Amino acid sequence: MLLAVGVLAGSAVGIYILVQYFMKPVIYQDSVPLQDAEVTARCNDTDNDVTAMPPKKVSFRINTENFLLEVQVEDRQEWLLTCHERWNSTWGTFICRHLGYIRLLHHKGVNMTDAKLNQSQEFVQVPLSQTTGTEHTWQIRYGCISGHIVALKCSECGSRSKASRIIGGSDVALGRWPWQVSLYLNNRHVCGGSIVAHQWIITAAHCVHNYRSPQLSSWSIYSGMVSHSSMRQNTPASTVEKIIHHQKYEERSHDYDIAMMKLEKPLNYSDSVRPVCLPQYDQEFAAGTECWVSGWGHIHPDSSHMPRSLKEAMVPIISTKKCNSSCIYNGDITPRMLCAGYLDGKVDACQGDSGGPLVCQTDYTWRLVGVVSWGMGCAEPNRPGVYTKIVSFLDWIHNIIEDD
């Protein structure tokens, strides 16, 4: 009897291990399948939940014509100009980062008489607190004692060449996604990435964590290209100075799946090489928001063939509540992840797209909302793509760049 019980117990453990192994999510380690897929199951949960966000006490924007800083306070509809009293570069850096830019480029006080203001124009003054933040009270003024208002310019990002737009296809024209890069390890494409500054690339931690043993010289970064076939003749590679993956990255759950790569030499920006903006702090993208994913990964989930040309696809955001439902990922989506795609499984990222960008456009600006991370298979019903949620890592990104 003891022998029989032992055999049964061993069999049960073996079956459990096999089930756990085969149910493990697939990391997109190696574009965007556009093939039709037969729908085998549907998730009936509705996607109508709204993320509860605390009311914002203050909002910022920069006038694109004259670079004047405009502030919206509490529930007031008007946008107010900012008095130069108590202003300093710390506030400029804070506001640029808050708006999704990497750094402050320039700031100054502009004479109010040169700005040609309306008679009814109102103003705000920087809070008395020595620390920056949106929670402080910005004081409303009907004039500025100094006679000057704040103008500032942040690092450029999130724009692309007007000539790059294409309609109705999945192949990508040069310059359409100018922040997209290809990560090469030992002369082979392994992942994608996104340009966020002259020397900085954001990618997925699993892209570099699984390859920690190679020397930095084994890595090459290709930018400003869409085709691998003509890449080596026309596109010089960038070498890597350092790789930093998130210290809390968890290989099995794919939580904290983000990394940054610093290039040895700054990139030269052009129509085909440009940085993408980061999200604004606390910025949420509602379910159904149309975003775009791009990459050189597999075009069919059951094929090892990788396309020569960059592919793209539009994928709508899926709420975390819905994505965590029992018929989709059953609670595996953490606050550092977001889902995007279709529940009928027609479009998705796949192997080779890992680390690449999920971008959404707001106010004519493209923002890096997610990084291709993982999923159950590719383009399978009720298994949408899972992305690293960039808005959860803004402080981490800025701290790495600043500390460097």
The single residue of 30, 255, 257, 353 carrying the catalytic annotation is 257
Residue 207 CB-density burial (10 A; 0-12 exposed, 13-18 middle, 19+ buried): buried
Q: Where are the alpha helices (DSSP H) in 260-393?
A: 320-323
The single residue of 107, 148, 189, 206 carrying the catalytic annotation is 206
Catalytic residue status for 354: yes
Are 124 and 141 a contacting pair, CB within 8 Å? Answer: yes
Rounded Cα distance between 132 and 15, Å, is 56
Looking at the chain, the number of H-run helices and the number of E-run strands are 6, 20
The single residue of 194, 223, 354, 373 carrying the catalytic annotation is 354
Strands (E), 3-62: 26-27, 58-62
**396: number of Cβ within 10 Å:** 15
Rounded Cα distance between 273 and 268, Å, is 7
Strands (E), 198-355: 200-203, 219-223, 238-245, 259-263, 290-295, 311-318, 337-340
Catalytic residue status for 47: no
Q: Which two tokens stand for residue 50?
A: 């709204």
Q: What is the CA radius of gyration of the chain?
A: 24
Tell the residue number behind the tokens 């960059």, with chain if given.
310
Catalytic residue status for 31: no
The phi, psi pair for 123, rounded to 5°, reads: -135, 165
Q: Which two tokens stand for residue 279?
A: 């999200």
Cα 9 to the center of its chain, rounded Å:
46
As annotated, the active-site residues are 206, 257, 354
